[in-house]
C-alpha cells in the first residue's frame, strides 16, 4: 500500500473548494507518455496552476500502471526542480470501470479516482460508486462519479446515445454515493468528432462546422440543486482547427473534426464546473507537430528531433487552456 501523501501528491478536495468559490476550473490533462508529463508539469509550474494528471485504463495498458505512477511521483520532483516549492499535482484515475480497478489505483498511490458507472442502471451505479467512496475515503482519496451518459465511447464504457444528466436525480445520487465531485452530461463528448455535421451549422467563410451550444440550462439546474458542489466536464477538448489543418496539410485526414468552443468552456469554468477534462487536444497538438516536423525533415529519424517540437506544442496548448480558458493560473495555495 502506497499513500499518495508520501509521494507529494494532493487530492482534489481543497483545490475544488477554491475553484468553485473563485469561479475557475482545474485542468485535468490525460497523459500516456513522458513528453506529455513534462509538458503538463512545465505548463503548470510556469502558470502557477494546480493540475490534475489523469490516467485512463487505456493509458495503463499502453504505458504500464507502475510506470505511470512513478512518472507522477517524478512530476512532483520535477515541478520542484523547476522552482515550484509547493506544487499541487493530483494523480487521478480517469473512467475507472470497476471497484477493483479503483482500489488498485488507490493502493498504488493515486490521490483521486473516478468511478464511471454512468452506463449502468441508476441503482447499480449508486451501489458501486458508494463502495468506491467508502474505500477511497479511508485513505483520504477523493472520488469523482458520473451521472448521465456522454455520446461516443468513454474508454471502454460505451453508450450509443447522449443522455443529459437529469437534474432531479443529482441530490439523491450525490447524497447516497458520498462522492466528492460529479461528472455530468450537458452535450460534451469524447474525441475529435464531438458532433455530426448534421448537428452543426457551417461557417460560410471557412466551411468549418459550428457546433450547437452546451446545455447551460441543465448545468444551472444542477447547480441550483447542489449549490457549491464540484461539477466535472468530460469531453472538453476544443479540437483547435489550426492543429487539424496542420495535420491535414501534412498527410493526415481528419475531415470535419470539431470540438467544444473555448468561450463555452470559459463560461462553464465560472460556474460550479471545477474540473475540465482535456485529452484529444493534446493528441492533436502532438500529432500536428510530429507530422509537420517529419514532412519538413524527411532525413531525420531521431525521435528526440520530432518529439521536442511535439512537447513544445503541447506545452503551448496546456498554457493556453490554463490561462485563457480555465483561469487556474496563479491559483496555487502557496
Task: List the end-to-end C-alpha distance of the chain, in Å, as a whole number.
Answer: 29
x-or-dash pattern for ligand G3H, window 81-110, by CB under 6 A?
Answer: -------------xx---------------
Applying CB under 6 A, among 13, 48, 58, 139 the residue interacting with ligand G3H is: 58
User: Considering beta carbons, is residue 61 or 305 the nearer one to ligand G3H?
Assistant: 61
279 is catalytic: no
Give the ranges where the chain is alpha helix by DSSP (H).
13-22, 34-47, 57-63, 65-81, 99-107, 122-138, 170-177, 216-225, 241-249, 262-269, 280-296, 303-320
User: Considering beta carbons, is residue 185 or 280 the nearer one to ligand 13P?
Assistant: 280
Strand pairing report for 231-233 and 181-184 = parallel
Residue 167: name its binding partner from Zn ion, ligand G3H, ligand 13P, none (Cβ under 5 to 8 Å by kind). Answer: none
The least distance separating ligand G3H from the CB of residue 327, rounded to whole angstroms, comes to 22
Instruction: Give the H or E element holding residue 317.
Output: helix 303-320
**Annotated catalytic residue within 6, 94, 116, 302:** 94
Contact 90, 53 (CB under 8 A): yes
Residue 144: name its binding partner from ligand G3H, Zn ion, ligand 13P, none (Cβ under 5 to 8 Å by kind). Answer: none
Residues 233-272 that bind Zn ion (CB under 5 A): 234
Question: Quick check: 59 binds ligand G3H (CB under 6 A)?
Answer: yes
Candidates 20-28, 157-165, 203-211, 230-238; binding stretch for Zn ion (CB under 5 A): 230-238
Give the ranges where 89-240 is alpha helix by DSSP (H).
99-107, 122-138, 170-177, 216-225
The least distance separating ligand 13P from the CB of residue 56, rounded to whole angstroms, comes to 7
Instruction: Give the residue carrying C-alpha cell 510506470.
Output: 67
Contact 260, 189 (CB under 8 A): no
Burial 184-223 (b: 16+ CB within 10 A, else e): bbbbbbbbbbbbeeeebeeeeeeeebebeebbeebbebbb
Residues 249-268 that bind ligand 13P (CB under 6 A): none
Q: How far, in Å, CA of 127 to CA of 142, rounded? A: 17
Residue 237: name its binding partner from ligand 13P, Zn ion, ligand G3H, none (Cβ under 5 to 8 Å by kind). Answer: ligand 13P
Question: Quick check: 256 binds ligand G3H (CB under 6 A)?
Answer: no
User: Considering beta carbons, is residue 222 or 278 the nearer one to ligand 13P?
Assistant: 278
User: Considering beta carbons, is residue 46 or 104 the nearer one to ligand G3H?
Assistant: 104
Assigned C-alpha cell, 4: 499518495
x-or-dash pattern for ligand 13P, window 171-200, by CB under 6 A?
Answer: -------------------xx---------
Could you give the 3-state DSSP secondary structure of residue 135?
helix
User: Considering beta carbons, is residue 30 or 177 the nearer one to ligand 13P?
Assistant: 30
Candidates 64-72, 207-215, 234-242, 298-306; binding stretch for ligand 13P (CB under 6 A): 234-242
Residues 158-217 that bind ligand G3H (CB under 6 A): 190
Instruction: Give the H or E element holding residue 268.
Output: helix 262-269
Q: How far, in Å, CA of 214 to CA of 40, rounded? A: 27
User: Considering beta carbons, is residue 94 or 243 the nearer one to Zn ion?
Assistant: 94
Please report, for residues 39, 260, 270, 275, 321, the alpha-carbon distance to residue 266 in angstroms, rounded to integers and kept in the order given: 22, 11, 7, 12, 9
Residue 278: name its binding partner from ligand 13P, Zn ion, ligand G3H, none (Cβ under 5 to 8 Å by kind). Answer: ligand 13P
Amino acid at each position: 500500500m502506497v499513500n499518495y501523501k508520501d509521494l507529494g501528491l494532493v487530492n482534489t478536495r481543497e483545490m475544488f473548494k477554491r475553484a468553485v468559490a473563485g469561479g475557475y476550473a482545474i485542468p485535468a490533462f490525460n497523459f500516456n507518455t513522458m513528453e506529455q508529463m513534462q509538458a503538463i508539469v512545465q505548463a503548470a509550474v510556469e502558470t502557477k496552476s494546480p493540475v490534475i494528471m489523469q490516467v485512463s485504463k487505456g493509458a495503463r495498458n499502453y504505458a504500464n500502471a507502475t510506470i505511470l505512477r512513478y512518472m507522477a511521483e517524478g512530476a512532483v520532483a520535477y515541478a520542484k526542480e523547476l522552482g515550484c516549492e509547493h506544487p499541487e499535482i493530483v494523480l487521478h484515475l480517469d473512467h475507472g470501470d470497476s471497484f477493483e480497478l479503483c482500489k488498485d489505483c488507490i493502493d498504488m498511490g493515486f490521490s483521486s479516482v473516478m468511478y464511471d458507472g454512468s452506463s449502468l442502471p441508476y441503482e447499480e451505479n449508486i451501489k458501486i460508486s458508494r463502495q468506491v467512496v467508502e474505500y477511497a475515503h479511508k485513505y483520504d482519496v477523493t472520488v469523482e462519479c458520473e451521472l448521465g451518459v456522454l455520446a461516443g465511447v468513454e474508454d471502454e464504457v460505451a453508450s450509443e446515445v447522449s443522455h443529459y444528466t437529469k437534474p432531479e436525480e443529482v441530490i439523491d445520487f450525490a447524497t447516497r454515493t458520498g462522492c466528492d465531485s460529479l461528472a455530468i452530461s450537458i452535450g460534451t463528448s469524447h474525441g475529435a468528432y464531438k458532433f455530426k455535421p448534421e448537428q452543426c451549422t457551417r461557417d460560410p467563410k471557412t466551411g468549418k462546422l459550428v457546433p450547437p451550444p452546451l446545455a447551460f440550462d441543465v448545468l444551472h439546474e444542477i447547480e441550483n440543486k447542489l449549490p457549491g458542489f464540484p461539477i466535472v466536464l468530460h469531453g472538453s477538448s476544443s479540437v483547435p482547427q489550426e492543429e487539424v489543418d496542420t495535420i491535414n496539410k501534412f498527410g493526415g485526414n481528419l475531415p470535419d473534426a470539431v470540438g467544444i468552443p473555448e468561450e463555452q468552456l470559459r463560461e462553464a469554468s465560472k460556474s460550479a464546473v471545477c474540473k475540465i477534462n482535456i485529452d484529444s487536444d493534446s493528441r492533436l497538438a502532438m500529432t500536428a507537430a510530429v507530422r509537420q516536423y517529419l514532412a519538413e525533415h524527411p532525413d531525420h529519424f531521431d525521435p528526440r528531433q520530432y518529439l521536442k517540437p511535439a512537447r513544445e506544442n503541447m506545452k503551448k496548448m496546456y498554457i493556453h487552456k490554463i490561462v485563457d480558458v480555465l483561469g487556474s493560473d496563479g491559483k496555487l495555495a502557496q
